[in-house]
Structure 1
């Protein structure tokens, strides 16, 4: 048996999904989407959105880049991490990937959820289903904010946007391209979320 097809498949997965785990999680998320189980994490009230808040684990790669794209579009925006150190900087691999897309993350500093000021009208845009569930649990019955999967604005929809941290440049580029596409599409849905005098979210 030739191993060339397996190597080609592995290279494709590394480029498109980062890892085999990323590919499996992406498939499971797509199946959940097709079965209608992701309905709670789709945007229901776009007219209520006043700020878009991008969320990932560490707030140093995915959400940091998405925020910069939103800033370029003059959106009111912020970003945070569910498990990070407030003040952490973006790693070199993500800095280089952002530069390849024409964005600069050198000034970005992470904000942990515990240090973040939630405001009415916030739309929290997460990268993975578990993040959506964690935020909904955190907000409880609060109905003045929404939680949605950012990848649902990709074409085709990508409900799972795997973390590129420590992965290849090729996957970083793929991930950041998807993020940029999603934010551009999102901006057309919530044009009223224009940037105000205070779009950041750290507590003062």
Structure 2
């Protein structure tokens, strides 16, 4: 459904419009223990100002063992990561909030209505091919975790290139 919505132009609101205005990237998923945590780690390694949050999580929760193992297989370490709920996070002017799923982006729109100093986009639009929905690997197989984390890595690297061009 998300790919059809993308092709039909229904997700235009979740594309990056002003890369030159981005000061920090904030990765958003539901629990902030797998996808957004990993994306934040990759972005940090690229020198990006990065944070991550969950829309429905318990602040302070660690990443599960399955995510720790998958991150380690990808050369990253999530052991120090602790989840942060959006309610416990300060969204700053210049933030680019990058949702993993369309429903997350819509929830951000509702919760942050009236904030014209931030942008909301779908991280999967930086995948090749674009994937507006980056499915949650939590409770799924190691193979799916690896595939998900590879897509996230690819998207974050492409986002970094996009933002580097926008800042030039």
TM over 0.5: yes
Structure 2 gap segments, 5+ residues each: none
* Alignment size in residue pairs: 167
Aligned match of 2:120: 147
Q: Does 1:90 align with 2:51?
A: no
Picking from 39, 50, 57, the partner of 1:77 is 50
Structure number with bigger Rg: 1
Q: Give TM-score scaled by structure 1 length.
A: 0.80
Q: How does 1:66-145 map to 2 (within 5 A)?
A: 66-145=39-118
Q: How does 1:19-98 map to 2 (within 5 A)?
A: 28-98=1-71
Q: Secondary structure of 1:191's match?
A: helix
Shift of 1:176: 0.2
Shift of 1:59: 0.2
Aligned match of 1:19: none
Displacement over 6 Å in runs of 4+: none
Shift of 1:81: 0.3
Q: Distance in 2 between matches of 1:69 and 1:193?
A: 20
Asked if 1 retains the 8 angstrom alpha-carbon contact of 2:19 and 2:166, the reply is no
Question: Could you give the per-residue CA deviations for residues 82-106 of structure 1, whole angstroms, max 9, x where no partner exists?
Answer: 0000000000000000011000000
Structure 1 gap segments, 5+ residues each: 1-27, 195-204
Shift of 1:192: 8.2
What RMSD in Å do the two structures reach over aligned CA positions?
A: 1.3
Question: Could you give the per-residue CA deviations for residues 119-163 of structure 1, whole angstroms, max 9, x where no partner exists?
Answer: 000000000000000001111121100000000000000100000
Q: Quickly say closer, same or farther: Cα 1:192–1:74, change in 2 above 3 A.
A: farther
Q: Quickly say closer, same or farther: Cα 1:112–1:79, change in 2 above 3 A.
A: same
Shift of 1:193: 9.6
Q: Distance in 1 between matches of 2:70 and 2:49?
A: 24
